[in-house]
Structure 1
Amino acid sequence: LPNYQVSSRNKTLNLSEPHIMGILNVTPDSFSDGGQFNAVESAVAHCQQMMDKGANIIDIGGESTRPNADAVATTEELQRVVPVVQAIRQHCGDDIWLSIDTSSPEVMQAAFDEGADIWNDVRALKRTGAAELAASLDIPVMLMHMRGEPTTMNNLAQYDNVIDDVSTELTARIEEVTRLGVKQENIIIDPGFGFAKNYEHHCALLSQLDSLQALGLPMMFGISRKRFLA
């Protein structure tokens, strides 16, 4: 087995074995638990509940990226995410890994200042200044495969060979962000289930997931409550 591990804030996560990431959406419009956990107290309680069930990474997101979701202003995203990071660190301690699901460098910087560990970006650090900030923070980053934006991605689900194309496009992102200073050992890849892919694409990815291991990086597998599973 490959020896994958990432480090952040004097702790190390061994990614040569599977871990459970709990999703904490602090958005009023998320299709999964939208609005239910956007108060800080219930966010902390939900985080504790997921930790009790075995999650050792909690992914906090203040912008819904479901198909056709509305764009969120940075100030609003900050107001949703930062108090939750503060509260979880205060009540749940430093051992739990906190991942921030954002594409905004401003949000990531503010969350990092409050104790976040990992940057989980569905746009794979494409926003201005994102890759440079990831490099300077020197934290683990999750680069997800997507085409376009949540508003346009469903129209871009056309591939010659979905496995080859996803691999090629992820490789291009890895090369670009490492050129901008992100360390290879800080990168985790995400095939982007639910993003710019149709049912057949998902089936192909699921059945040939080991092909993506050729990229030589640990993988985040975000499959919960996706439409195509039904």
Structure 2
Amino acid sequence: MTINCKGRLIDVNTPKVMGILNVTPDSFFDGGRYNNDMAVLRQAESMLSDGADFIDIGGYSSRPGASEVAETDEIRRVVPAVTAIVKEFPNAVVSVDTFRSSVARAAIESGAAIVNDISAGNLDADMMETVAALQVPYIMMHMRGNPSTMQTLTDYDDIVKEMLLYFAEKTTAARSFGINDVLIDPGFGFAKTLEQNYEVLRRLEDFSILELPLLVGVSRKSMVYKPLGTSAAEALNGSTVLHTIALSKGAKILRVHDVKEAVEAVKLFQLSQ
């Protein structure tokens, strides 16, 4: 499996690590930390030196209860961060975490190379057409509703079966628009209860039937720290455990806050194969 990031072919048969860099004031773990170019560049440099394959820039917190952000404000947050990183680190592969086509376009035109959409086009009817026109890889996540309503939409008969159908339909739509590189994200924590998150994790190998690169994002989420009775700040060890389990079940990209530890998990996992 390879993905074409603006002419650079990246082989995801070997698992990769995507570092999370949120330029938001209210993200659940790192909100407010990277609110200027210098802070962004320091964190990007740290992630890249620790072995990050991708850096994912987000300007809109998708945590439950997060504030609404105007499109102009999201662009104002994201574009300078993307621009600064690709200027300072021209070999960096930057992803933009957005469900808005206008933000995706602005970020890609500023140097980003991947669109990461939590809604898989459900929250912006123009998203897939835009991604196809930009000819960049498209990460589609599973979610019901939107970040404000998702936690009320957790009624499934068979969650994995329904997710597989969702991704099959979304992939067909993406291909019809002309998107070549499609990746899928099960969306841990999005429209899923704690128990459902672990059911999806247990059955993660089922997603191989789609023959698409699988991205897993569990880093420091409540599914890690709630069972342990701790907090996001104390969830590094638990996150690494779940990352290792995800790798063993076919994950090709780990989306993480802690790049060094995730890279180490990937290296040791590879040695065990």
Instruction: Measure how far apart 1:177 and its partner are.
Output: 2.2
**Alignment of 1:101 onto 2:84:** no
1:203 equivalent in structure 2 = 198
**Alignment of 1:174 onto 2:171:** yes
**Partners in 2 of 1:209 and 1:121 — Cα distance?**
20
Instruction: Measure how far apart 1:181 and its partner are.
Output: 2.5
**SS of equivalent residue, structure 1 residue 24:** strand
2:65 equivalent in structure 1 = 68
2:17 equivalent in structure 1 = 20
Instruction: Measure how far apart 1:208 and its partner are.
Output: 1.1
2:84 equivalent in structure 1 = 87
Is this contact kept in 2: 1:68–1:151, CA < 8 A? yes
CA RMSD of aligned residues (A): 1.0
Question: What do the CA deviations read for 1:107-146 (whole angstroms, capped 9, x no partner)?
Answer: 1111111111000000112312111111111110000000
Is this contact kept in 1: 2:137–2:179, CA < 8 A? no
**Partners in 2 of 1:159 and 1:92 — Cα distance?**
44
2:35 aligns with one of 34, 38, 41: 38
Instruction: Measure how far apart 1:105 and its partner are.
Output: 1.0
Is this contact kept in 2: 1:125–1:177, CA < 8 A? no
**SS of equivalent residue, structure 2 residue 188:** coil
Length-normalised TM-score, structure 2: 0.80
More deviation in 159-168 or 210-219?
159-168
1:131 equivalent in structure 2 = 128
Write the letter of the residue equivalent to 1:114: S
Question: What do the CA deviations read for 1:185-224 (whole angstroms, capped 9, x no partner)?
Answer: x100000011000111111111111001111100111110
1:117 equivalent in structure 2 = 113
The runs of at least 4 consecutive aligned structure 1 residues that moved more than 6 Å come to none
**Partners in 1 of 2:213 and 2:75 — Cα distance?**
29
Instruction: Measure how far apart 1:168 and its partner are.
Output: 1.1
Write the letter of the residue equivalent to 1:208: R
**Partners in 2 of 1:25 and 1:194 — Cα distance?**
18
Unaligned runs of 5+ in 2: 226-273
Is this contact kept in 1: 2:56–2:97, CA < 8 A? yes
Instruction: Measure how far apart 1:180 and its partner are.
Output: 2.5
**Partners in 2 of 1:87 and 1:194 — Cα distance?**
31
Length-normalised TM-score, structure 1: 0.95
RCO (CA 8 Å, sep 6+): is it higher in 1 or 2? 2
Is this contact kept in 2: 1:190–1:219, CA < 8 A? yes
- Identical positions, percent: 38
Unaligned runs of 5+ in 1: none
